[in-house]
Structure 1
Amino acid sequence: MYLIEWGLWQMATESEAKRKAHEAEMSPEEKKAAEDFYESDLEDIHFQPVSEKPHARGPVFAFNDTFMDMRCGGSEEKRGLLTLATLGGVLPTISVLTITALNFLWTDITDHETRSLLMVLLTVIMTSAAGAVLYIYTKYGVTYTRLEMLTSRHLLIRFNRKTQKVHLHRPSYCGGIVTFPWKTTGSTALYPEDDSLSLGMRLGLVWHPSLTGLPHMEMALLGKQGQGGSELRDEWEFIRRYMEEGPDAVPRPRLSTQLPSPVQAFSAQFEGLGRFFRKSSWLFKVVLLMVWPAFVIIGTGHWLSLLLCWRPRWPKVIREAGRPGKPVPPVTTLADYPPAIQERLLANADRWQLKPGRRPDKQTRKAKKNTPTV
């Protein structure tokens, strides 16, 4: 499910009217948090070692001396819910209403003996209902359905160490395919004091406008959910060493298939739960065993979602990047987007502006109480 990526792109390209309506619903605290970016925050972007145990938690789809492909996606474990809702609810409803309306129409046209005012009225009602449901789904529902059906099977990120570029592969409605310099890449896994926040989270990579020259911020959530500890720092260290020292500096990862594997579909639900499950009480484990049918249903929906998507394919210039004599893919700029998208990106550029200086230290409640008022 590409809900997070779609939401971030919708925010970056939001119209003025929608943005005003959204900001009107925000509380003062939410508005303050949305504007709480300081220049000192970018000092966290560094490429020093952060772990002694580099490890790729996967899925890794390709790994060689030139590039490495990994899976992205901020809500992969929830994939399948939209598929089940669409295949099990929306499409059957549309089919039943359409078939019923066509039967009424056919009867009115061919069977003159049964034609009556009531039959004509029922035909109009059924045809209107079928048309209304089909229109609503086509106008609004298809957008959500394509977040996990009839689209790319996975979001991908490619690290090309020969060209020192990072490429994101996403559908156009999630931001499209973009290219960034490796040295503009920020990570959310740098410091041991943040390890407690990694439970249930994925490794996040960030490209801020002040480094990329774009009017919006880009983000990629890699691999599997963390189980706490230093897992995310280990994964970032794996990527860092691969890009700066080469494939021999890291343990070779186990490669995953890009085919619609049922193993990937069912195991995604348990990402980030392994350590928690092992340390949980026996009662909690019994409860999980009791709800196993739900895991089977969601896993089946996830697999159907993979089956109804196609394998993503990189553009030729990115596939050949790093080979002798082949061009280096250009870095993505604002001019690469359509004029209408450029206009909206620029209109929302103030979302990512940095406040000068360093972020002020947080005051404790006691310190705030003792602060003299003027």
Structure 2
Amino acid sequence: MYFFEWGSWEAAIEPDADKKENARARRLRKKITPYENEQAEEQAAAKISASETPKSRGPVYAYNKQILEIRSGMFEEKRGLIGILSLTWISLIVTGTVGIMVAASWIVESITTEAAISSEHVFKITWLLLLTFPTAWLYFKFGLRFTRLEMFTSRHLLIRFNRTTQQVYLHRPPHCGGIVVLPWEGVASSGSANKYAIADGVGVPLALHWSARVTGTLHPELAWVGKSANHQGEIRDEWEFIRRFMDEGPEGLPRPRITSHFPWPWQAFTPQFEGVTHYFRNASKLIKVGLVLISPAFLIIGTGHWLSLLLCWKPRWPKIIRQAGMPGKPVPPLTTLADYPPHIQQRLRENAHLWAVRPGQRPEKKPRKVSRTRKAEPKPS
């Protein structure tokens, strides 16, 4: 499911007039907006070893002395939900359209043979028209944008690390931000230290972040890397594997298992259990019984996930990125604002203030003054 990436891109290019930000949202944005010193500390932490046991849990699609390519994206294991709903909606439209064609052929045949038109046929075609056209209009107006978050699009989101060019490449569909070239220098990671951990690493993948000052596109970039984790230790191991590959080379790193891009069924079903094995192992008996009872739901979502993979195509990098780092080949230029269409550039400029890093240090919180009402002294009797 590419919902998170799509939502992040939509937030970056949303017109300012459409933003309905209440006071609470403004306070939250002000709280999470980084200062220069915080950004410098986070980037410095990304250069320090975070684990003694580097390991990539994958899925890894390419690995050699020059490149490391891993699956990216958040909530991919949930993409079957949208797939099932989309296929149900599409089936209704197709069934209604076929029914209209059959009923229309009956009416045409009746007119040709000068036979009486059956009122039953007229009722059927009227009912199908009233059912099919509004359903199709609603789907193409509102539903199609969600269907393409996981169907009729790239089979996977990818992130490729190139240690020769010291660049990172994000492969995403155009409606989720498109292909982006980022510098390795300046990356921040949720696995570099516990203070940057997200949900203590439970149920989320490794997060890599580039601030607006690093990207050159006036907005930050966020990439989720690999499988959802069971604990922060797995996040640290994943990050340390990537950090050592980019900073020190593949020597001494355990060779990861290479995964095929072909949509095998187990690639759709096994992700349903990412990030829950540790929870299941330590859960109470009642919770374990409940998880077993709802296991058919995992099977249904996995089936929808597999159908989605079958209806998508293998992502392909541009030639300049495929050849990046090879002798005599050009180094891909970093993505800048000029790489986007004019209307997107304008949107990004208008929203640049939302992602701007604040200068200096975050001011210390002032202690709250608690005003206590003095109790009234008892009156003398």
Q: Is the 8 A contact 2:164 2:325 kept in 1?
A: yes
Shift of 1:249: 3.6
| Alignment partners' CA distance in 2, 1:221 and 1:371 | 46
Q: Is the 8 A contact 1:108 1:114 kept in 2?
A: no
2:295 matched to which residue of 1? Answer: 292
| Alignment partners' CA distance in 2, 1:306 and 1:362 | 49
Q: Deviations over 1:22-81 (max 9, x none)?
A: 32xx3x222211233122331211212122221112111111011000000111121211
**Quick one: structure 1 residues 126 and 191, their matched pair in 2 at CA, closer, same or farther if it must change by over 3 Å?**
same
| Alignment partners' CA distance in 2, 1:200 and 1:12 | 25
In the alignment, residue 259 of structure 1 is paired with which amino acid? F
Match of residue 43, structure 2, among 37, 42, 45: 45
Greater alpha carbon shift after TM alignment, 347-356 vs 192-201: 192-201
Structure 1 position 3 matched with structure 2 position 6: no
Structure of greater Rg: 2
Q: Is the 8 A contact 1:192 1:230 kept in 2?
A: no
2:137 matched to which residue of 1? Answer: 135
| Alignment partners' CA distance in 1, 2:68 and 2:345 | 30
Q: TM-score, normalised by structure 2?
A: 0.89
Aligned residues: 363
Shift of 1:228: 1.5
Q: Give 5+ residue unaligned stretches, structure 1.
A: none
2:93 matched to which residue of 1? Answer: 94
**Quick one: structure 1 residues 58 and 342, their matched pair in 2 at CA, closer, same or farther if it must change by over 3 Å?**
same
In the alignment, residue 307 of structure 2 is paired with which amino acid? L
RMSD: 2.1
Equivalent residues in 2 for 1:116-127 (5 A)?
123-124=125-126, 126-127=128-129
Greater alpha carbon shift after TM alignment, 206-215 vs 153-162: 206-215
In the alignment, residue 78 of structure 1 is paired with which amino acid? K
Equivalent residues in 2 for 1:157-306 (5 A)?
157-193=159-195, 197-306=200-309
Shift of 1:361: 4.7
**Quick one: structure 1 residues 369 and 306, their matched pair in 2 at CA, closer, same or farther if it must change by over 3 Å?**
same
Q: Is the 8 A contact 2:190 2:206 kept in 1?
A: yes
Shift of 1:103: 3.0
1:337 matched to which residue of 2? Answer: 340
Q: Is the 8 A contact 1:54 1:234 kept in 2?
A: yes
| Alignment partners' CA distance in 2, 1:66 and 1:48 | 21
Q: Deviations over 1:336-364 (max 9, x none)?
A: 1111111111111111022332234567x
Q: Give 5+ residue unaligned stretches, structure 2.
A: 373-381
2:30 matched to which residue of 1? Answer: 35
| Alignment partners' CA distance in 2, 1:121 and 1:268 | 47
Q: Is the 8 A contact 2:324 2:331 kept in 1?
A: yes
1:60 matched to which residue of 2? Answer: 60
Percent of aligned pairs sharing the same letter: 46
Q: Deviations over 1:91-113 (max 9, x none)?
A: 22112221232233333332144
Give 3-state SS (helix, strand or coil) of 1:35's partner.
helix
Q: TM-score, normalised by structure 1?
A: 0.91
1:153 matched to which residue of 2? Answer: 155
Shift of 1:217: 1.1
| Alignment partners' CA distance in 2, 1:269 and 1:359 | 41
| Alignment partners' CA distance in 2, 1:281 and 1:105 | 60
